[in-house]
Structure 1
Amino acid sequence: MTTNQDRLLRPSLRKQMEELEEAHMLRGELSAMQQLALLSSYDDLAHALEGAFFVQECVFEQLEIKQRVYQDIEHLVGKDVILSSSTSCLVPSSVFANVQNRSRCLVSHPVNPPYYVKLVELVPHPETVATVMDTTHALMTKVGQAPVRLKKEIDGFALNRVQAAVIAESWRLVQDGIISVQDIDLVMSEGLGMRYAFIGPMETMHLNAPEGLEDYMKRYGEGIMRLITSFGPVPDFFCEGAKSIINEMCELIPSGQQHLTARKDRRDQLLMGLAKLKKDH
């Protein structure tokens, strides 16, 4: 059964998958059209869940809505079906608070846009059993993602906590008149981002000293601690001064839909090129 929403989404999805196929970046052995033919959508939740062994929920980032969805889902699937949420920051103990069997629940948080950025954070509920984490890790790996396991839940998980630290210091540097919006973005895209596209901060440190990580900390650890203690308070993203940063960004890329869509398309094309490079290496 095809819904109205499905009919609206299919043209853009078809375009994206055909572009991936043309770039030889389509995953799996089936063609774009064959993969599209496997997609289905239903207005009735019970029909949508028939035969499911793994459920990935992607509804709005609102706790009450997610909780209600899982209350409905739990009564429509078998006890061995894994229940997984795409939430980007709500901890599993909150999302699955009303689920009776929480041992089969976890968060599988993808990164936007998920087809080009492979990372998926697997975050267990305090009651999640190891086999559920193992099965989900294997499934995500099989479909071409790059899953990472968190050993326990924490607000924001790993990716958003690291991202929030970068956002906070970037915002402070612009707000304090140290650097412009355009240039702080270049610090990442032409500096740190170049390093981190293939190796992370831990390996970067390990390789940036003659004798590895311990040597790195002997050389630079005190300086890093000094910098960290100099960081200012958490920025207020809603104060009067924040408007000047927003205006500066909008001068570079206007917030109209046409401009944002064009930049998102550019982003996706660049990410596809980077993903192809990483795949080939």
Structure 2
Amino acid sequence: MDESPLDTAEAAPHASAVDSVAVVGAGSIGIAWAIVFACAGRRVQMQEVDPARREIALGEAKSKLHELEAGGLLREPIATVLSRISVSGSLEEAVAGVGYVQECIIENLEAKQELFARLDALTPRDVVLASSTSTIMASRFASDLAGRDRCIVVHPANPPYFLRVAEIVPAPFTSESTVSTTSELLASSGLAPILLKQEIEGFVFNRLQGALLREAYCLVRDEIVTPVELDTLVREGLGLRWSLIGPFTTSELNTRGGLRRHGEVLGPVYARIGIERAQEDPWTPETIEQVARAVENSLPHRSWEDNVRERDRGMIQLSSLLKHFENPLTYHRTD
């Protein structure tokens, strides 16, 4: 098999000039970010205001690293990775000398406004200030800052040491250098940076997730399917397939004639379903053409048949890996 993203992150030298980062907040996301950056060879200075969480932060990181090591996902000894992580109660101490700050505090606008004002005052102007927020745009918490041009949202899939992708969401005032520094840092840490062209509430990850959840709740409410059956359908069907190729490539390879034919056949059906849910957003020919060209250019072969064969080979390999995996979360409790 190919190397895992964590392996790749550890094997590659830094493509980013940032060699040390601060992680503000030692909750689950903060610890996950610390693991990502430390596994990529960077020094990580964590800050946590809660003494109880400070006390257990390194232990939680060590526990996660043991799980990663057991799965063959670490290149270095756990002690080596942990030696790069420190935890402090002082924000001033945590941000001293770093080139990048990743905020991971509660999802509260006022709290983020207060923290980013402090970060802006404490750090040099070339230090990127990034938020892990899932919903709050940078223009809402950083617009009044003198150094607002270095503020940005970096929203990870959770947890980022498994789901190796993060959304980069600049505000209208965010500088190009901030975007490029952030992209280089993520890429050299083994994450795929997804740059959004403009701010949008919920970003892309949560909008996609929300669209599926909205329909899922409606289907359960209308007694079409049970919650457990719906989870099973996504886990064993859509989710398994999307883990390899995603929804656009799925549509391209499911229908002979690709996305253009798929849009002709199923576009009207999805449009009627949308109207049924009071959401009238039909796929336009222009958008279908834009997506089709992009997907075609991303695939390895010119021939539709050859790409379908590659998909099938990939699904066979994935199924082979999962053949002996017993998922503990699919067992039903007897109590």
TM-score between both structures, scaled by the size of structure 1: 0.78
Does the 8 A contact of 1:82 with 1:105 survive in 2? yes
Measured in 2, the distance between the counterparts of 1:85 and 1:175 equals 36
Cα deviation for residue 106 of structure 1 reads: 0.7
Structure 2 match to 1:195: 241
**1:154 equivalent in alignment to 2:209:** no
Q: How does 1:1-281 map to 2 (within 5 A)?
A: 4-26=52-74, 29-231=75-277
Shift of 1:4: 4.6
Cα shift at 1:223: 1.4
Distance in structure 1 (CA, Å) of the matches to 2:89 and 2:61: 20
Give the total of aligned pairs: 234
After TM superposition, give the deviation of residue 197 of structure 1 in Å: 0.7
Q: What SS does the aligned partner of 2:87 have?
A: coil
Tell me, what secondary structure is at the counterpart of 1:107? strand
Tell whether the 8 Å contact from 1:205 to 1:213 is kept in structure 2 after alignment.
yes
Q: Where do 4+ consecutive residues of structure 1 move more than 2 Å?
A: 1-7, 9-12
Question: Does the Cα contact within 8 Å between 1:67 and 1:97 map onto a contact in 2?
Answer: no
CA distance in 2, matches of 1:120, 1:15: 23
**Cα drift, residue 7 of structure 1:** 2.5
TM-score normalised per structure 2? 0.66
Deviations 1:87-135 (A, max 9, x none): 0010111121332222111100011122111120000011112221121
Please state how far the C-alpha of 1:8 moved relative to its aligned partner.
1.4
Q: Any stretches of 5+ residues in structure 1 without a counterpart?
A: 234-273
2:60 and 2:178 map into 1 onto residues whose CA distance is 33
Is the contact made by 2:153 and 2:168 (CA closer than 8 Å) also made in structure 1? yes
CA–CA distance in 2 between the matches of 1:175 and 1:5? 40
The secondary structure found in structure 2 opposite 1:160 is helix
Larger RCO: Structure 1 or Structure 2 (Cα < 8 Å, ≥ 6 residues apart)?
A: 2
| AA partner of residue 58 (structure 2) | R
Partner amino acid, structure 2, of 1:179:
V
Partner Cα separation in structure 2 for residue 44 and residue 208 of structure 1: 54
Which amino acid in structure 1 is aligned with residue 112 of structure 2?
K
Q: Does the CA-based 8 Å contact 2:131-2:152 persist in structure 1?
A: yes
Cα distance, 1:232 vs structure 2:
5.7
Q: Which moved more, 1:178-187 or 1:53-62?
A: 178-187
Q: CA RMSD in A?
A: 2.0
Task: Spell out, residue by residue over 1:143-182, the C-alpha distance to the aligned partner (whole angstroms, 9 max, x if none).
Answer: 1112111000000000101111111110111111111111
**Secondary structure of the structure 1 residue equivalent to 2:101:** strand
Aligned identity (percent) is 35
1:209–1:215 Cα contact (<8 Å) kept:
yes
